[in-house]
Structure 1
Amino acid sequence: MASSPTHTSSPRSRRSRLKRGSVALAGAAALVGGLLAPSAAVADQTFVSDADTSANVTHVANVPKTEAMSDFNSDLAFTGDYAIGGNYNGFVIYDISAPEDPQVVSEVLCPGGQGDVSVSGDLLYFSVDYARASDECGAPSVPTSDPNGFEGIRIFDISDKAAPQYVAAVRTDCGSHTNTLVPGKDGEHEYVYVSSYSPSVNFPNCQPPHDKISIIEVPLDDPASAQVIEAPVLFPDGGNTNTSGCHDITVYPKHDIAAGACMGDGILMDISDPTAPVVTDVVRDTNFAFWHSATFTNDGATVLFTDELGGGGGAVCTEAIGPERGANAIYTIDGFKGKKKDLQLEFEGYYKIPRLQSTTENCVAHNGSLIPVPGQDFFVQSWYQGGVSVIDFNDPAKPKEIGYFDRAPINEDRLVLGGSWSAYYYNGYVYSSDITRGLDVIKLTEPRLRPAERVGMDEFNPQSQPEYRPGRR
């Protein structure tokens, strides 16, 4: 690897403008090519929200995107007092030690498409699904038909949050649209499940059929030697008509289970051996267009799948589309307390936001997480320009909205892609990654959700679910 990312860093004022500078930083695996240092800070101003919210939801902060991260914001991961936001240009590290006044600590410029992120200690895993001329951060884009193009996972050392270091790159078939962290059981390794799809005979590194995932093994004492060790086929008999890989996988290591959202199929897996996942059930739904993501309840007995009808770019929260398309589907897991190989999914009900959106707002079910109220099932979820929805699904057959955050259309006259890509609960607040408007911080004041404030997490990857317990902060 010949070069590494360009960094930007900023002081506590998020309103600072950045200017180009340079600094040399030594690293065993990489060299930092440049540093963008901030100019003098602008005085803080009173934050005024531009969102409509329910009475039990308060919009407390927004961190606008900088020029360096002018492309689309995507997913989030959390470690300690930091949130890490993916972007099609790279990633941003935010200091959230004061949640109502978050600050940009650094920005790593390393384009490669969606930029899905997972964090593990000092390591950050970053998805690349747009082909680049090489694995270098500054490499230009190339056609997917280029046999030498790089797509896959980049690994960074983020022990210094102000100056992350590029450690390694691992090529995977069809690149990496999303990635899921799976802890190893020996304490010496961890694994990354890489999800990707849409093969073509014209793509030399993404040939059909692509009914598989890639599994990367990372030796914790030598992450630079990470490599693909398995590529298990999840659909040996072929998936549903449009299934050619998985969009996303959520694992629940405590229970050795995983749920896969695989385009035309929803699947349940036994991951007792994380290097050899076994599919135990496959479900299909005529109302689902694109199985997108999944979340387990804390007891592991229920799983909520999302349908990304229209690929995220469509206005599908309308009366014409109705309440059962572009929605969530909730399944209980039959046989959960029995043998993993016998687990089956049983459909319970749908949930879609009840607030109709305009035809100029892209809106559909997207990424969310549990709100950790012990013994209860509450969920916070992004809906692109449908905003953020707070959901009670204690009765999985009759889920209902109990709170919301919703902005006006970006453009009243035409459809413009934007809105909340991901909305996750972390240590007392909801953090929403808005595609165009930056990072939003939301406080929930609903009395039923107050017990969640006593649940603390040191690290959180929504696609690698922890078991939560009160009093851990």
Structure 2
Amino acid sequence: MRSSRLKGAAGVALSLTLAAGMVGLALPATASDSAAPDVPPGEVASSKITHLSNNPKNGALQGTGSDIAFQGDYAFAGNYDGFTVYDLSVPEEPVQALQVYCPGSQNDISVYGDILVLSTDSSRSDDSCASTTRPATQKDAWEGIKVWDISDPLAPKYVKSVETACGSHTHSLAPTKNGKDVYVYVSSYSPSSSYPDCRPPHDIISIVKIPVKDPAAAKLVGTPNLFPKGGYEGDPTRSASATSGCHDITTYAKYDLAAGACMGDGILMDIKDRAHPKVISTVRDTENFAFWHSATFNNDATKVVFTDELGGGGLATCTGEYAPELGANGIYDIEKVVKKGGKNGKELVFKSYYKIPRINDSTENCVAHNGSLIPVEGKDLMVQAWYQGGVSVMDFTDSSDPTELAWFDRGAGLSSGGSWSTYWYNGYAYSNDLGIGFDTFDIDDSIDGKAKTNLKSLNPQMQEKF
């Protein structure tokens, strides 16, 4: 959810309420949203996706379910109250192996070798897992990243924290080619003149360097300004956000590239020098995109799928009231260009939009959110979460004509928020639902039957070539 200063499940409910009040500011496709939903309230429907299991929220982690990372036979699922480790030894029926209570929304999560990183983007009394909420207006409030040792995945050890400007809403890992260090690109936004550690303009990201063999030595090494001339100024008439930092960055270390979804702008970066990323292409959609939320490369880094989280994840944009270009994916090709001085460069070029075709109930928040590639050679396939719009599988091999191949949808009243993130890992799709826990899906073999199933790890915001 987009409101970074809201806390826990109560914060999510408030965010949904606030976003619902923004409907009048958006651009409706028609005058009415009275169309009957394709999946009636209380019912479940799907096409070429089978729901296999659900692990409901329980114990100490009653907050909002957020992102997921994978390593070996384990899934690490974020929650505003901490994270859960699931054993995937029997992938159709994951077993909850461990809960770690460490509140600090969103608890965006990544793993790399023996290192786990958590994002904290809610002002806390300190950097401990016993911290309490504190107003961001107080100078001694803490926000940033927490570094853990997971050499034993079932006994994580908290080893280091690093405070970052405006906290860490999300983060992305960028390992060096020699594997000795991993850099963390920290994305944050929503500055205020009343926040001592998060004042406008906020056109930066924070970069933390973690030595792989000594994660306790993690430290802040830079705060590069990605928008020295300022980003998009925003447009309140269509609820379009101004650029004041980035929401999410996806790295692709093999190609020394990163794609940033930066509220009002989409960017492509050269990250050959991990500590000094350079913006090489910027795109802006002043007609349809309202909040550039996340990015996904295709396997050969010739395309990027950007998502637009119109309304911060709280709007019902799939009722038919909103045009298919609103709250959707934007698909861009990365084209080679010759720049000034005869140097070769890369440029983002818009190709198409994609939005799920189903009509939802007016009470269901539905907008493009987190997904990952399905590793089928020669095709660009992506499974993706759409909050209460459910789970969708998109084929964007033809970037000008994306199509839906499969979907799963719970009708209104079955989930208090829907799917935050849905990722494909070694034969199955796993989804973290905001309200009802961890889901496992089997996608029809006609779609993923030839997919690579020997992945050793998956961080969707740190892509690796399959």
Say whether the fold is shared (TM-score over 0.5).
Answer: yes
Query: Contact (CA 8 Å) 1:105, 1:161: kept in 2 or not?
Result: no
Following superposition of structure 1 onto structure 2, how do residues 242-391 of structure 1 map, counting pairs within 5 Å? 242-285=242-285, 286-335=287-336, 342-391=345-394
Whether 1:447 aligns to 2:450 is no
* Number of the residue aligned with 2:429: 430
Query: Contact (CA 8 Å) 2:149, 2:215: kept in 1 or not?
Result: no
Residue by residue over 1:249-286, the C-alpha shift from the partner in whole angstroms, topping out at 9 and shown as x without a partner, is 00111111110000000001111111111101111112
Query: Contact (CA 8 Å) 2:114, 2:149: kept in 1 or not?
Result: yes
Whole-Å separation in 1 of the counterparts to 2:77 and 2:94: 13
Letter in 2 for 1:238: G
Alignment CA distance shift 1:340-1:449 (3 Å) = farther
Q: Give 1:183 shift.
A: 0.4
Letter in 2 for 1:93: V
Query: Contact (CA 8 Å) 2:247, 2:263: kept in 1 or not?
Result: yes
Letter in 1 for 2:151: S
Query: Contact (CA 8 Å) 2:203, 2:227: kept in 1 or not?
Result: yes
Query: Contact (CA 8 Å) 1:51, 1:59: kept in 2 or not?
Result: no
Q: Give 1:104 shift.
A: 0.8
Residue by residue over 1:286-341, the C-alpha shift from the partner in whole angstroms, topping out at 9 and shown as x without a partner, is 20000000001101101100000010011111211110000000000110899996
Residue by residue over 1:347-402, the C-alpha shift from the partner in whole angstroms, topping out at 9 and shown as x without a partner, is 10000000011110000000001111001111100000000001111111111111
Percent of pairs with identical residues: 54
Letter in 1 for 2:427: G
Q: Give 1:417 shift.
A: 4.5
Whole-Å separation in 2 of the counterparts to 1:167 and 1:264: 35
Whole-Å separation in 1 of the counterparts to 2:363 and 2:221: 45
Gaps of 5+ in 1: 1-48, 469-473
* Number of the residue aligned with 1:37: none
Whole-Å separation in 1 of the counterparts to 2:228 and 2:70: 35
Q: Among 203, 206, 212, which residue is 2:198 paired with?
A: 206
Q: Give 1:222 shift.
A: 1.5
Q: Secondary structure at the match of 1:443?
A: strand
Query: Contact (CA 8 Å) 2:416, 2:436: kept in 1 or not?
Result: no
RMSD across aligned positions (CA): 1.6
Alignment CA distance shift 1:254-1:333 (3 Å) = same
Following superposition of structure 1 onto structure 2, how do residues 155-174 of structure 1 map, counting pairs within 5 Å? 155-174=147-166
Whether 1:218 aligns to 2:210 is yes
Alignment CA distance shift 1:426-1:361 (3 Å) = same
Q: Give 1:163 shift.
A: 2.1
Q: Secondary structure at the match of 1:335?
A: strand
Whether 1:144 aligns to 2:143 is no
Query: Contact (CA 8 Å) 2:176, 2:253: kept in 1 or not?
Result: no
Whole-Å separation in 1 of the counterparts to 2:343 and 2:160: 35
Q: Select between 271-280 and 159-168 the one with higher mean Cα deviation.
A: 159-168
Greater relative contact order structure (CA < 8 Å, 6+ sep): 2
Query: Contact (CA 8 Å) 1:129, 1:152: kept in 2 or not?
Result: yes
Whole-Å separation in 1 of the counterparts to 2:298 and 2:374: 10
Query: Contact (CA 8 Å) 1:422, 1:434: kept in 2 or not?
Result: yes
Q: Give 1:196 shift.
A: 0.1
Following superposition of structure 1 onto structure 2, how do residues 80-119 of structure 1 map, counting pairs within 5 Å? 80-119=72-111
* Number of the residue aligned with 1:467: 465
Whole-Å separation in 1 of the counterparts to 2:453 and 2:379: 13
* Number of the residue aligned with 1:409: 412
Q: Give 1:77 shift.
A: 0.3
Q: Secondary structure at the match of 2:249?
A: strand
Residue by residue over 1:136-192, the C-alpha shift from the partner in whole angstroms, topping out at 9 and shown as x without a partner, is 110111000111111000011122222211111000000000010110133321100
Whole-Å separation in 2 of the counterparts to 1:71 and 1:231: 31
* Number of the residue aligned with 2:22: none
Letter in 1 for 2:372: S
Q: Secondary structure at the match of 1:153?
A: strand
Residue by residue over 1:184-228, the C-alpha shift from the partner in whole angstroms, topping out at 9 and shown as x without a partner, is 133321100000001011000111111010000011221111111
Aligned residues: 414
TM-score relative to the length of structure 1 = 0.85
Whether 1:65 aligns to 2:65 is no
Query: Contact (CA 8 Å) 1:280, 1:340: kept in 2 or not?
Result: no
Letter in 2 for 1:254: K
Q: Give 1:53 shift.
A: 1.1
Q: Give 1:68 shift.
A: 1.1
